[in-house]
Structure 1
Amino acid sequence: MSAEEIHRLLARLTETWNAGDSAGYAGLFTEDADYVTFFGLHLKGRQAIEETHRGLFARAIKLGESDTAPSIRFLTGDVALIVAGGTSSVDGVPDPGRTSTVTLTALRTPEGWRFASFQNSRVARP
């Protein structure tokens, strides 16, 4: 178990997103991953993640740094639960309305650590 490996996987998630690399982004997920967007769309599998993000990456949406470090909890030696915060900008302008809390499950696979699930929730006042 290594939190450092999870931190590298999270860094790759941001790098591939900000590069607009839909194939690289989707490659960070398991073949059968469950991916739920902030508006509730459920994508099933790496191919659906890649296809959906290809269109999304045509816009100039970039991920920013969170003020808080991600929480990483190993459920087993091969499974980690991650809760992370995130911000983003559109066309270079920070958008506070896009602040999110993201919950992910990382799984150690023969390919290395990959995300098996992703849930993005917008932060909003009740």
Structure 2
Amino acid sequence: MSTKIREEITRLMQRMTDTWNAGDAAGYAALFTPDADYITFFGLHLKGRQAIEETHRALFRTPIKLDESDTEPSVRLLSDDVALVITAGASSVDGVPDPARDSVITLTAVRAEEGWRFASFQNTRVGRP
């Protein structure tokens, strides 16, 4: 995979964190394709950019913020225009890290006219079997 593609996807992921922490529901949703599939950690399946924006508008009123992960995301190019991204998710509430919210996030990034966007998002809480 080219360094340029990895950098573009890494910037997209950084914008995801930045828009979340800014409470920018429209900006957050714009990082996804219009028909994206977005599955939350509790199994809610959002279909499309509009549903992502509407749901996150309410969520962003809470004190939950995304924390920077110490783990570098795995980015694997599946074709010239599709990449599988697996990353760690961590968050804090009122500035206090909340390990109970740690998760593994799987995304599908696709190259679109406006640049790379996420076509799918799956958030799974880390737990013990």
Task: Tell me which of 82, 99, 111 is aligned to 2:102.
Answer: 99
Q: Which residue of 1 aligns with 2:24?
A: 21
Q: Which residue of 1 aligns with 2:47?
A: 44
Please provide the CA RMSD for this pair: 0.7
Q: What is the distance in 2 between the residues matched to 1:62 and 1:72?
A: 23
Amino acid across the alignment from 1:3: R
Q: Which residue of 1 aligns with 2:82?
A: 79
Q: CA deviation at 1:14?
A: 0.2
Q: What is the distance in 2 between the residues matched to 1:118 and 1:42?
A: 10
User: 3-state SS of the aligned residue for 2:90?
Assistant: strand
Runs of 4+ in structure 1 over 2 Å off: none
Number of residue pairs the alignment of both structures matches: 126
Q: What is the distance in 1 between the residues matched to 2:111 and 2:103?
A: 25
Q: What is the distance in 2 between the residues matched to 1:57 and 1:65?
A: 17
User: 3-state SS of the aligned residue for 1:39?
Assistant: coil
User: 3-state SS of the aligned residue for 1:65?
Assistant: coil
Q: What is the distance in 2 between the residues matched to 1:14 and 1:115?
A: 13
User: Which runs of 5 or more structure 1 residues have no equivalent in the other structure?
Assistant: none
Identity of aligned residues (%): 71
Q: Which residue of 1 aligns with 2:62?
A: 59
Q: CA deviation at 1:67?
A: 2.2
Normalising by structure 1, report the TM-score.
Answer: 0.98
